[in-house]
Amino acid sequence: MRTSTTTDIEGGQISTPIGRIEAVSTWHAAAVNEASETSREHALRNLIRRAEDVDADAIVGLEFEIDGGVSMAETGVALARVRAKGIAVRLVA
């Protein structure tokens, strides 16, 4: 699956925008930086699966954000997850 943070795909031409898609990673401890990179990869894999489900060839406008932290009253551990967003598109064959 081809991805781009811009509205263009290098070496390709968009024929049809399918729609906006989103996916999230699993929750992880908000204070752990290494987990956020793994979570980013996890969110991207989930986003690609969603794009494949709608027969997209690529995702443009790809962006990541940290989904608001959640404090767990029982443990005192703040949790966060990564949200990946983009627009699923079909490319000219």
**Residue 24's CATH number:** 3.30.110.70
Query: Per-residue pLDDT for 33 more than 90?
Result: no
The pair of structure tokens assigned to 11 is 């070496």
Dihedral pair phi/psi, residue 75, rounded to 5°: -110, -20
What is the domain extent for residue 12?
2-91
Residues 44-90 have pLDDT tens digits of 999 999 999 999 999 999 999 987 666 666 567 878 889 999 999 99
In the chain, the number of structural domains is 1
40 vs 33: CA distance, rounded Å: 11
Label residue 32 by pLDDT band (50, 70, 90).
low
**Amino acid at residue number 10:** E
